[in-house]
Structure 1
């Protein structure tokens, strides 16, 4: 049986479409009738009789009250109308003048009455249909715009549990108390404990805050209301506050319940800061939210959960104890957490026997749950594209690189000279990294264009680290400048390819001097050099808290650090020029060189780098958040200019 093709607009009821079509037809009919009436020229009855005698009348229609027809008007045919008077000779005169005429009964009053009554009924019906009667079963009508749009999930149909959440064990432990309280509140109330009114989940994007909230609802088996903070604020004044009230009323009627508001900062930002006023719609919504949090009692079994990526911009009245009692950080996962997340997502994909998720977890430092889910999905797509029966290790490794730097662009045509320059640039990064004591091991170097980069050098740390030493940062500066130094040594010329390296080098050096107190000349000081965008709810104006003399000294120290790192990079490459040129030739031949082959070309034993890293393992450093990739940025016309 063929399914009928529904061609009407999506989301628009058929009755509404028919109503608008009917209204359009009536309006067009009224307009046409009015146009016809306005086109007829009003003449006196005596003029009409004279025109009949002169032969200017072309046709006549006689009704009990009106005489209408057409006549000659300056050589053109025009319509006329005149009020009929008692004239027994009219018919004979029309016959004598050979004017065609006809008689018509007068029904205009019936038509007028029906038309007026019909218009009134149509207006009443339209008002009832559009405003009084809800258009959908969920109550969305023009008079229900103040109703909350939060969706309630049936507790019996919630399938997400803590088994589906990995990489945030501490956050899951914090949530266990909430679940136990919702399941057995008397156990806590006997000791005088109160149910937390609000729980704030904060962390980087993609760490699994929303998934964690769904898992709590699934474990507790209670009603779960989910809404986005942006759904509360509309163009109508007072809608946001009304929707907040309606949301909490629905939750009270279904208690125990959990209310989850995603992206809470959309309505929870700091209030009046010199722009707008107390009647701002967002502020009214926030005020109502504060009232609801303070208003309901703990025995009602309602918990408000909010998630945000920007806890620093939230209003202090919202985050204080008594409203959001618990602030739970959902951080990026460590190596074991990444492995657990990969295992969760790998359950839905057919994996090959050679796949070791532990190795993949080690090669993805700084990845969050969303990144890892994307890696597994990309690997499955690549395996399906190659008609493989299962996802293999090569597919996952390629997926990791696609997430880091973008897809390969082998179709890009690059001249032999530029290809050699790119190879020299990436080989410079690699050689300097291999001769730096505090650098992360080089995993791979490639000159295949990927994403916006023309080539890249991939370094992977041996372990998750949370502290960074001064020596490690200085080596990082030297490695970043290794590509620019190699170009100058081999070609006696520099290109625009080091643009990203220079930006990162300058940023690291300035952070060392101005914020981390790593300058010997300036000493252990930290000055405000925040370069983030101005947030109107917090800092309309910014003032430097240091003098111009200190700013000049900071600039000088930054310049000295960068120049010294560049000098050191040139010295390393000059001393190892033969190995550098050998690596360049291998890159031009194979395009991608892995760590084992790099060690062979440069004369390193595989264990040497590991031993060096193990010797300095006690100097843990903070991970950058992503695998370091030295981009060889594309050359643009603006840069060439």
Structure 2
């Protein structure tokens, strides 16, 4: 649904880049921070003890890393197996290379030439199945150069040719004997050692890995079937409920869960039971994960956190195995909290499109989650907290009561919430005493908590780069524009004709927005490029807007048309700079006809195609004749908006030219500047070119300052009688 709030109209050199492609920006994004309580009272799953047992906490006696030591048997066996495997490999290598390392290898001709010359010692030739080895006498000359300093030679052979070599040595009268180092055991080791080594490697790296992936211990892949959750306690989290603001209702829900876990007996007195699950719903950055962190920081029970994407791996069945492992550990540590972040990664509606049914990995994981959440005993105090920004795609079996008993909306903060969030983040920076956070809160409608945090951070960075002692109001306002509209590219070189077209484009937007009563108030106009946009007309709503009236939409559509009209009237040409304006206006017109029932011809009917639950393309719920009427109505609304905008600019073209000239001179105009120009007044401040000229004069040397050169030094070549050489 189109959302004109915080709207920006921009002109581009190539393609338009507006504040929001889809004007339908819903409430509910941001990452808010802020305030809360600290419920008192503690209790176990039956409400019979005052302090939580150490057994039920991460790091306790029943958890890895606690006081209890893990069994040493399995680890000892694994270590011993690896030692034996490595030792066998080293021994095999040493035995195979023992003799070769001490002797120099020679060829067949070289070895028997030495034997024929009687160059070997009296020990003769030592024969083994793989080689002939001999020691050379002292003082023998004419040895092969490959020997170097070595006095032992070896000729590699094989058992097949061994009898031929012994016959030749016997004919030569050369003594030979069996190598005494080649025992039967060494021969067996050399023959079967590589086979045994390969078998052991296969066992350790394959069979044990598969056993580990199936849930058994050990193996390189042994942890694939184990859950990848993070176990947190309040000692591990530095976020408290006092750090959460702007979402009071959601924080109250979280406080109730924490209170129930601390003191279940209080609620069970009247027959109540612990909620099975709480689903936090909101657009990205609205504070869902922050609430979970606050729960980890406040609760006195184990807190297991895992993302939905961590369940799915390359092996089929791993996701379901991890789900079972996670819930098994949670039940053993009851009472506890499980937080599933971005649950839509595995909780999507089943049976979409051409999925492979029950064999699909995500469906197996989802089925495992459904079974585990439905299998809780009444005494199992395990609460599942999940977050998503796509509640519409979740499987109905997952969101039904009994699994997720509560669905908590985490919306965008209102004015009061924004001020509270700004105060929370402002505690971390040095603010000037004259900073007014309430003013900034009013100037940031529809900002999420994450955007507000970014505003404070960007302001601190900007003040630091400017060597300021404190963050001032100007820094905060500049940071707000940077977060919402993008960074200004002041160093970009823009051609003069593009600059002229951009100035008239933005002036057309600004004039219509200033004159129309129901459009959002004008905030700032600039021709300084931001991102891909060549300029921008920025507006900020006076209040949080959750619905749109027809007059507001009509005026907004007229503002969107103003840029193209002014640009075309001045340059007698059109450019692609209005592409985003056209897209936004078309979205408004289409939503008025299809969704909002604002067409007299079509009446109070919704013609939007509904999503098919099976994932196939939905058929349009109207006839071809109705489709023609829809197209005609969209065209009519667009043409009317364009004609009205053209009429307004024709009646106020003088003011449009005045604004465009001011933009060319000053590059940026505030709402107050636009008001003065529309009333025929002068701005009374220097232009950009005048400021640049003043800076150049400051850098240039002063004419009245004495020349630092010596008095006897000529001031110029001409003064010394030298003429400049001809060019």
TM bin, normalised by shorter chain, reads 0.7 to 0.9
Q: Displacement of 1:368 after TM fit?
A: 1.1
1:112-261 matches, cutoff 5 A: 112-115=187-190, 116=192, 120=196, 124=200, 142-261=221-340
Q: Do 2:655 and 2:678's aligned partners in 1 also have CA atoms closer than 8 Å?
A: yes
C-alpha deviations, 1:456-510, integer Å up to 9, x for none? 0111111112221111100000000000010122222211110100010111111
Aligned to 1:434: 514
Q: Displacement of 1:399 after TM fit?
A: 1.5
Q: 1:139 and 1:363, CA in 2 relative to 1: closer, same or farther beyond 3 A?
A: farther
Query: Which one scores higher on RCO, CA 8 angstroms, separation ≥ 6?
Result: 2
For structure 1, which segment, 323-332 or 276-285, has the greater mean C-alpha deviation from structure 2 after superposition? 276-285
Q: Displacement of 1:357 after TM fit?
A: 1.4
Cα separation, 2, equivalents of 1:562 and 1:56: 108
Aligned to 1:592: 668
Aligned to 1:402: 482
Give the total of aligned pairs: 566
Aligned to 2:659: 583
Q: 1:234 and 1:468, CA in 2 relative to 1: closer, same or farther beyond 3 A?
A: same
1:298-377 matches, cutoff 5 A: 298-377=378-457
Q: Do 1:406 and 1:452's aligned partners in 2 also have CA atoms closer than 8 Å?
A: no
Cα separation, 2, equivalents of 1:111 and 1:280: 54
Cα separation, 2, equivalents of 1:418 and 1:152: 57
Q: Do 1:69 and 1:80's aligned partners in 2 also have CA atoms closer than 8 Å?
A: no
SS in 1 for 2:407: strand
Q: Do 1:64 and 1:84's aligned partners in 2 also have CA atoms closer than 8 Å?
A: no
Cα separation, 1, equivalents of 2:348 and 2:456: 36
Q: 1:323 and 1:83, CA in 2 relative to 1: closer, same or farther beyond 3 A?
A: same
SS in 1 for 2:358: coil
C-alpha deviations, 1:180-237, integer Å up to 9, x for none? 2111111111211111001000111000001112223333322110000111111222
1:495 to 558, 575, 583: 575
Q: 1:155 and 1:597, CA in 2 relative to 1: closer, same or farther beyond 3 A?
A: closer
SS in 2 for 1:84: helix
Q: Are 2:641 and 1:565 equivalent residues in the alignment?
A: yes
SS in 1 for 2:413: coil
Q: 1:354 and 1:65, CA in 2 relative to 1: closer, same or farther beyond 3 A?
A: closer
C-alpha deviations, 1:150-171, integer Å up to 9, x for none? 1111244433221111110111
Q: Are 2:163 and 1:84 equivalent residues in the alignment?
A: yes
Q: Displacement of 1:417 after TM fit?
A: 1.4
Q: Do 1:63 and 1:105's aligned partners in 2 also have CA atoms closer than 8 Å?
A: no
Cα separation, 2, equivalents of 1:163 and 1:68: 84
Cα separation, 1, equivalents of 2:267 and 2:463: 52
Q: Are 2:524 and 1:444 equivalent residues in the alignment?
A: yes
Aligned to 1:549: 625
Aligned to 2:368: 288
Q: Do 2:311 and 2:319's aligned partners in 1 also have CA atoms closer than 8 Å?
A: yes
Q: Displacement of 1:24 after TM fit?
A: 9.7
Aligned to 1:385: 465
Aligned to 1:111: 186
Cα separation, 2, equivalents of 1:149 and 1:494: 57
Q: 1:584 and 1:91, CA in 2 relative to 1: closer, same or farther beyond 3 A?
A: same
| Structure number with bigger Rg | 2
Aligned to 2:497: 417
Q: Are 2:608 and 1:528 equivalent residues in the alignment?
A: yes
Q: Displacement of 1:592 after TM fit?
A: 0.5
Q: Do 1:62 and 1:102's aligned partners in 2 also have CA atoms closer than 8 Å?
A: yes
C-alpha deviations, 1:383-409, integer Å up to 9, x for none? 222222222222222211221222111
Cα separation, 2, equivalents of 1:394 and 1:186: 54
Q: Do 1:514 and 1:529's aligned partners in 2 also have CA atoms closer than 8 Å?
A: no
Cα separation, 2, equivalents of 1:459 and 1:122: 72
Cα separation, 1, equivalents of 2:418 and 2:403: 33
Cα separation, 2, equivalents of 1:604 and 1:167: 43
Cα separation, 1, equivalents of 2:507 and 2:83: 70
Cα separation, 2, equivalents of 1:487 and 1:197: 60
Normalised to the residue count of structure 2, the TM-score between the two structures is 0.70
1:272 to 348, 351, 356: 351
Cα separation, 2, equivalents of 1:335 and 1:292: 41
Cα separation, 2, equivalents of 1:338 and 1:388: 25
SS in 1 for 2:222: helix
C-alpha deviations, 1:283-309, integer Å up to 9, x for none? 111111111111112432210000001
C-alpha deviations, 1:89-145, integer Å up to 9, x for none? 9456256xxxx99984451644334454587479658966995999xxx99952232
Gaps of 5+ in 2: 1-79, 135-154, 682-727
Q: Do 2:227 and 2:322's aligned partners in 1 also have CA atoms closer than 8 Å?
A: yes
Cα separation, 2, equivalents of 1:432 and 1:17: 79
Q: 1:103 and 1:30, CA in 2 relative to 1: closer, same or farther beyond 3 A?
A: closer
SS in 1 for 2:367: helix
SS in 2 for 1:292: helix
Normalised to the residue count of structure 1, the TM-score between the two structures is 0.79
Q: 1:57 and 1:419, CA in 2 relative to 1: closer, same or farther beyond 3 A?
A: farther
Cα separation, 2, equivalents of 1:412 and 1:64: 81
Cα separation, 1, equivalents of 2:574 and 2:165: 107
Q: 1:67 and 1:308, CA in 2 relative to 1: closer, same or farther beyond 3 A?
A: closer
Q: 1:570 and 1:259, CA in 2 relative to 1: closer, same or farther beyond 3 A?
A: same
RMSD: 4.1
Aligned to 1:518: 598
